[in-house]
Structures are given as structure tokens and as C-alpha cells.
Structure 1
Amino acid sequence: MKVVPFQRLACPLDAQPLRGEASRRVCDSGHSYDIASKGYTHLLPVQHKRSREPGDSKAMVAARRRFLGAGYYRPIAEAVASAALSDAEGKAELSCLDAGCGEGYYLRQLAAADSGVTLHLLGLDISKWAVQAAARQDARPTWVVASNARIPAEPASLDRILCLFGFPVYPEFFRVLKPGGLLIKVDAGAGHLKELRDLIYAEEKTAAARDEVLPPEYSRLGEVRVQYPLQLEGSDNLADLLAMTPHYHRASVAAREALLKLEGLTVSVDVRVVTYISRASASD
């Protein structure tokens, strides 16, 4: 598997193509964006931010890196890579965006998959801490701080989009996908982390269903369910898992403290890996 940077970036201010120079990216209008020494580009203008530091905090990113680096979600990553490469036979190249890449775990696992395809990889996250962590671990993809609401990529420039435990922006995904491009979503199933939820909520909380109405520009190709028990030993692993989920902010302080006094916990992993195909180009 050969991995190269994704090159077809677009200016977040006027959507013109960005060309790379020695230490910056510029468009024909003169907008310029420095490539940070850590290897990423900040393409989230201040007027597009809703807070000073949007997205995951530095501590949350560190927790995610430790947890995912331990391999606890590797079966999910393998299912995602299999879906992304499902029709790769006979193709020389594929371009792929991880829309909400976090610290880059799933793109790294895709890059490690057994395939002869050259991958042009783009990782995007609204958290600068996440993108910094991703760039430090693998310099081959293009890493950008940006928003799914305004993806800094040229129209019809991507073969694949990964949206993992995130919030899909279907019109924007459609704009940047090529005709026949694949959108691969990962969502929590009803049983996902049930044991964790049972411990921190006074009333039973089920995983949120995400069977929203699919826009007509997409067709559903199929679904793979990934389910397995996950045994976590020690409070540190439990703390990292809790920190990388929305349950951390919803749980009471007392519930969080009680959970972290446990010596271990077996939780259920239950996720859906769903693949959609883009029916036509946005210009048709």
C-alpha cells in the first residue's frame, strides 16, 4: 500500500484550488495558509468558528490516542478498511477523506491494509489538538483543521469519505465525492457500551438511532454489524473510554467517580458500518 498526501485542497474562503508551496498553501486570490511545523494546515477561518477552541480538548485527544492505540477498536477499523477497499481491485489510486479524523487512528489502519492501491489521504478535524496528534504519528496524509460544514476540497475530488461516530453533512459530502464515490458511516448500535451507560445514568439510556432520511443523491449499498465483548482492566482504561464518549459530559460527577473506582469492566461493542454510494456528481 502506497500512501501519499491528498493534493486537491480548496480555499475555505473562496473555494479556489490551493497550491502547495514550500511552507504554505495559497489560492489565486492571494489567501495564504501556513503549513505548521508539525505538518498540518489550519483551514478553519476565525469567522467559521463557534468557539475559541472547537472540538476535542487536548486531554480528550490524549485519552483517545491511548485507548485506540491499545487496539480495543481494531475490529471496527478492519471493517471500515474492508468497506473502503471493497471495490479497489483493478484500481490504481483512491482518494479518501476521514471527516472528523480525531488523532488519525482509522486512516492509519486503512493505510496499513493489504492492498496494491495508492491512497491519497486527507484527514480533517475541527480540533487542532486532534490534527496535531494525527500529524505527529503519520506525516504521509494531508492533515487539516477544518469543518465538515465547509470541507476544503475541490468538487468531485474524493473516492471515499469516512464519517466515524460523527455528524454527516450530506450536501457537503456529496459536493466533494466523485460520481460513484462511497460514504462509509460508523454509528453506535443499540447495545454499544450498554454496561457503561447502565453505570453512569440513573435511567436506562439507549444509543441514539441514526436512521435519518437519506438524501436522494445517495443509495445504500450495505451494512456490516461489528459486535464483541471488550474487557477493560484498570481505572485508567475506563477513564480513557469515558473521556472519548459523549457520556463523559452527560454523567454526573458522582457517577464518573464511582465508575473510575472499578478495577475493571466488560462492555459490549456494537456498531454499524454502513456504506452508501453517491449517485451522480454535484454538477449534473
Structure 2
Amino acid sequence: MTVSPFEALACPLDGSPLQKHARNWSCAAGHTFDIARQGYVHLLPVQNKRSRDPGDNKEMVAARQRFLNAGYYQPVAEALSCAVFPKGTTEASISCLDAGCGEGYYLRHLADSAPENTSLALLGLDISKWAVLSAAKQDKNPAWVVGSNANLPVQTETLDRILCLFGFPVYPEFARVLRSGGEIILIDAGPDHLRELREIIYPELKDPRLVPDTAPDGFTNVDISFVRYNLTLPDKGAISDLLAMTPHLYRATAEGLSRAAELESLTVTVETRIQRIRKD
């Protein structure tokens, strides 16, 4: 098994192929994008930003890194690897994008669990420069890119897998960059995900957002599976990190956050839904 950076990148300004040089990526039209000292490249044009510093901030990324590196979501990562490399996989090479990679935990786990006879070309993309910076510092093997799912800086039909984990899939773009027969692996929160924490921080629980079982146009369902287990957060730090890496930190009431801050430990339900859909 070998792991290498995915290199079929496209210019975010005109869509043409990018060529990698020692210190930058550039296209035939002369658009040039510098490679940061840490090894990542920024391919999110200013006009495509919705804010000055989009995505997770530095503190949220640090909290996610501490939480995930502690192994609390390892069963989810293991289930993801099984979805990417289903039993009987014979593919000699797989090009894979993590669309919303955060600080890179799931791609690192994927690389560690790949079959020996499979070569991986990996790309981690996130709209948060802080997330991509953290990912690049921890692992030099994948290509790390600041970019947007709405305008993927990826050449057409060059990917075999796209991971979209607790994120926002953009199916027209995903379909464009996937090869025929390529798959999207979606992971979403189940109805009981972190229920015990949500019961503490909200006055009442809202009905969860329903994820349709049907595949979007141009795709076919392969399978749906679930991961469910109890997770004990042993101290205030782990509880605080979990809150900080989720939207609940900004949605909860001040009273709810105060109640959570008083907890010495907490056992929560982790429930995730994993769906594989294949491009026709």
C-alpha cells in the first residue's frame, strides 16, 4: 500500500488543469497559487468567500483535533474505512477526496487501514484555512487544499471516492469530479446522536433532520449501515471539546452551556448513518 497526494487539481478561476511546481501550482492562463510552507495550497478565490475567515476557527479546529486524536470516534472511522474498502475490494488504486476534511483525522485513519495491494491518492479539502493548516502539519502524504465543495478545484472525472462526513454534499459538483462507478460515502448524525448532551443544553429537543434513503439523480444506492455505541467523556475537557467541534456550541442557550460546563463527566450515545451511493 502506498499513499500519495492527489494531483489532478483544477484552477478555481477557469477550471483548467493545474501543474505543480516547486513552490506553486499554476494553469496555462498564468493563474498561480503558492504552496504554503506547511505544504497546503489555497484554492478559494476571494469572490467565493462568504466571510473573511470562513469555516471553523482556530479554537474549534484545536478542540476537534484533541477530541478525535483521543480516539472517541474511532468506531466511526473504522466503519468509514469498511465503506471505502468493502470486503473483496480488488482496486489497485483509489483516488479519494475528503470534502470537508477538517484536521484530517479520517483521511489519516483511511490511509492506515487501506489494503496492502491498494495505492491511495488522497485529497483533503476544507473551507477553513485553520483546519487545512492543522491537517498539513500532521500528515504530509495527502494533498491539502483550502477550497469549497460548491466549486471543487478538481479536474472532471478523476476521483473514485468522495467522503462527506457530517457535512453538506453538493451533488452536481460531486458527480462532475467522480468517475463513472465512483462512490460517495456520506456519514450523518442519527436521531439519537449526542442525545444526552442535547437534552442538557437545549430547553427541548427538535425533531432531527431526516436524511432521505433515496439516491439523488445520477446515483444509485449501494447500502446503508449504522454505527451506535455509548461513549463516556471522562472530564470537563472532553465535554468542552465535543461541544466546541459541533454547531451546538452556537445554537445552545447560555443556560444550557452553563449546565454543560458544570458536568464532571458524561455518557452520550454516538449514532451515525453511513450511506454509499454510486455514480451511474
TM exceeds 0.5? yes
The number of equivalent residue pairs is 279
Structure 2 counterparts to residues 30-179 of structure 1, below 5 A? 30-86=30-86, 89-116=89-116, 117-179=118-180
Note the C-alpha offset of 1:87: 6.3
Identify unmatched segments of 5+ residues in structure 1.
280-284
Question: Letter of the aligned partner of 2:250 in structure 1?
Answer: H
What is the DSSP-based 3-state SS (H/G/I as helix, E as strand, rest coil) of the residue aligned with 1:78? helix
Q: Distance in 1 between matches of 2:125 and 2:114?
A: 24
Say whether the 8 Å CA contact 2:157–2:177 is kept in structure 1.
yes
Q: Distance in 1 between matches of 2:217 and 2:272?
A: 24
Aligned to 1:202: 203
1:226-258 CA distance string (max 9 Å, x none): 000000011110000011111110111221121
Aligned to 2:266: 265
Note the C-alpha offset of 1:122: 0.2
Identity %: 53
Aligned to 2:15: 15
Note the C-alpha offset of 1:205: 2.9
Aligned to 2:236: 235
TM-score by length of 1: 0.96
Q: Distance in 2 between matches of 1:108 and 1:151?
A: 21
Q: Distance in 2 between matches of 1:35 and 1:41?
A: 5
1:174-197 CA distance string (max 9 Å, x none): 000000001000000001000011
Aligned to 1:2: 2
Q: Distance in 1 between matches of 2:32 and 2:114?
A: 37
Say whether the 8 Å CA contact 2:121–2:142 is kept in structure 1.
yes
Say whether the 8 Å CA contact 1:41–1:144 is kept in structure 2.
yes
Note the C-alpha offset of 1:148: 0.1
Aligned to 1:282: none
Question: Letter of the aligned partner of 1:185 in structure 2?
Answer: L
TM-score by length of 2: 0.97
Question: Letter of the aligned partner of 1:115 in structure 2?
Answer: P
User: CA separation of 1:181/1:114 partners in 2, compared to 1, >3 Å: closer, same or farther?
Assistant: closer
Say whether the 8 Å CA contact 2:215–2:277 is kept in structure 1.
no
Aligned to 1:24: 24
Q: Distance in 1 between matches of 2:265 and 2:170?
A: 37
User: CA separation of 1:212/1:272 partners in 2, compared to 1, >3 Å: closer, same or farther?
Assistant: closer
What is the DSSP-based 3-state SS (H/G/I as helix, E as strand, rest coil) of the residue aligned with 2:4? strand
Note the C-alpha offset of 1:90: 2.5
